[in-house]
Amino acid sequence: MFRRLRETGPAFLIPAAWGTTAAAHLGIVTRRPVFVMHGVMCVLLVAFVGASWREMEAGVLRTWRRVILAGTPVAFAGLAGFVVPAGSRALFAVSISGWMLIPAAGFVSTARQVPAGASIYRGGATLCVLGAVLYASGTVFGYGALSIAGLGSVAVGQTAGILDAVLRY
């Protein structure tokens, strides 16, 4: 059962995480649930990579092990943003931009390794980068709708990639 959860869980968790993030930006969800989500995400990332370490030693799985290893400190930065008032904006920026861009690199590598799904993975990478640009632009220029569009772009790109991976394997 745990193996099946590891294989399919991300297909539900990734869109849920981005949906919760967008809901928080829209004021629909308060800080507390997002803090809890970050805590759960940190625990799940560590548990997932620990339980899957040997299975992720080669090929595309090694790519995603590296994504998880790079992303875990980024997730902890987001968690720290909730408990360290000084610098919380910077910690949140590291977390959200990291989780937009680190998977983009994973998608580029995956596109090279999985020719049958290359267009999906290149699309995922493109949507992640586009989303990061939109999000940053919305934040810098004070256009919340751009930030939400950026979150949506990343959510679509990452969800497409993980759904392809779950269905393909």
Q: How do residues 104-149 score in pLDDT, each as one tens digit?
A: 999 999 999 999 999 999 999 999 999 999 999 999 998 999 999 9
Alpha-carbon gap, residue 90 to 103, rounded angstroms: 20
Query: What are the tokens at 106?
Result: 């994973």
Q: How do residues 34-56 score in pLDDT, each as one tens digit?
A: 999 899 999 989 988 888 888 88
Q: Do 164 and 117 touch, CB atoms closer than 8 A?
A: yes
Average pLDDT of the segment spanning 9-27? 91
CA 60 to chain centre: 17
Cβ density class 12-21: b for 16+ within 10 Å, e for less? ebbbebbbbb
